[in-house]
Homo-oligomer: A and B are copies of this chain.
């Protein structure tokens, strides 16, 4: 199908879809969730074949994906996301008469979503960006990831069928394939926002295209992240299983997660205990990722000052697919600093670096210098460490979207309080691509001044037919600044 027709179908769907009532749109999302669950076995079979990911991982991912759609259905019906604000007319306002003003968020219009390779469900055709945009009331065009085309097509059939069955307008969901189609659509004036999960190189390229359009559009790209983990001396002593936990987080899904912990900072003199000996071989997602991993692994193993903790291995089969076991190396902080040009890049695959530091008090400055933009940063500490942690925690919060205390960053809960997005290159624009706050990326504010009730959108009407939270007045305050200074 040609780009012209796809863009026009999405544009034609925008108005009728934006006008759907919350319960209708919510029911449509639930219908999509049900369709995924009902066809989970078939979809998982395709995913195993195309991605090499394991069945348990994919079973969980389908559940996460359908649950995510249901969660957004709740968000729509709740209506708080509309941020409805009503300031009634005030003839006596402090700086002059004020008209009736009402503001709520409305859908942006068609959203183009570039699917990721590494989450064939949760960040692909029916994944988080699609769920958030559909929930917001925006038609969606997904550019399929070439790594799982059969799965993408089948998922798209199910999504489109469920939406149509729920009465949603024709064209509200479409799938395209091929990089050129994606780029052409990103340049199309009918597309109003982009979303992306993938590499820093491709993400930046697309972000630049979005910004250079005659009419620029927001581009929500999730690019690279190395997710450093810092361990205090006391925590290293208190966690004999530290390296096991680290290895499990690094090896999960063959290290092909955007939240994989790429660096583990431990005291120079900490005794970490042994790594588990056995390691399961895991296929990498596709030959391109496999080759890149092979090269990156060779570079790291060849770096100066490196000690191998787990050598791991990578081999190719006749189809050029790579199979890997995890590689963990260790080196002193000074060597990392000296080789930052080669060692700091994200490594997509089961490889991570343990860094030995001399002085914990150096870490805030080291972190700010080496890791200015990440999805996550993690701190392992004990209660006894608490008084000395504030500076490092501030550094982690300034440079990351999510700060963890203990545990490992892989696995991002889909909840109201999740933040999956951080300073560039973690993401290209403010916002989160996981959790319910993701919906605001696809909305824009519109105010209505002195509007007759009949012409107001439902969230702003006095009779509030959708029963959404409406905030009246200035956040409930009035001229309390006098109390702040005692001067008025």
Contacts and interface: CB of A to CB of B under 8 A. Distances in A.
Interface in A414-452: 414-419, 421, 423-425, 428-432, 435-437, 443-452
Contacts of A429: 218
5 contacts: A26-B481, A95-B414, A403-B446, A416-B471, A437-B445
B487 A413 contact: no
Mostly helix, strand, loop or mixed at chain A's interface? mixed
Interface stretch (A124-132, A145-153, A246-254, A392-400): A392-400
A413 B481 contact: no
Contacts of A419: 103, 445-447
Contacts of A386: 452, 454-455
A475 B102 contact: no
Contact of A418 (B101, B106, B404): B101
A407 interface: yes
Nearest to A430: B444
Given A74-B474, A87-B417, A34 B445 contact: no
B101 A31 contact: no
A413 B87 contact: yes
A94 interface: yes
Sort A-B residue pairs by CB-CB distance and give the 8 closest, nearest first. A211-B211, A419-B447, A103-B417, A85-B417, A101-B417, A78-B475, A74-B477, A87-B417
A108 B430 CA distance: 10
A446 B397 contact: yes
A63 B430 contact: no
A218 B415 contact: no
Contact of A34 (B457, B475, B485): B485
A33 B94 CA distance: 14
Given A103-B417, A455-B389, A218 B407 contact: no
A402 B447 contact: yes
A355 interface: no
B407 A484 contact: no
Contacts of A318: none
Given A78-B475, A211-B216, A30 B447 contact: no
A431 B401 CA distance: 21
Contacts of A83: 437
Contacts of A27: 484-485
Nearest to A26: B484
A338 interface: no
Interface in A79-102: 80, 83, 85-87, 93-96, 98-99, 101-102
A273 interface: no
A187 interface: no
Nearest to A25: B484
A15 interface: yes
Interface string A213-226: 00110100000000
Given A87-B415, A96-B60, A455 B393 contact: yes
Given A95-B60, A402-B449, A416-B471, A77 B484 contact: yes
A268 B218 CA distance: 40
A41 interface: no
A419 B451 CA distance: 15
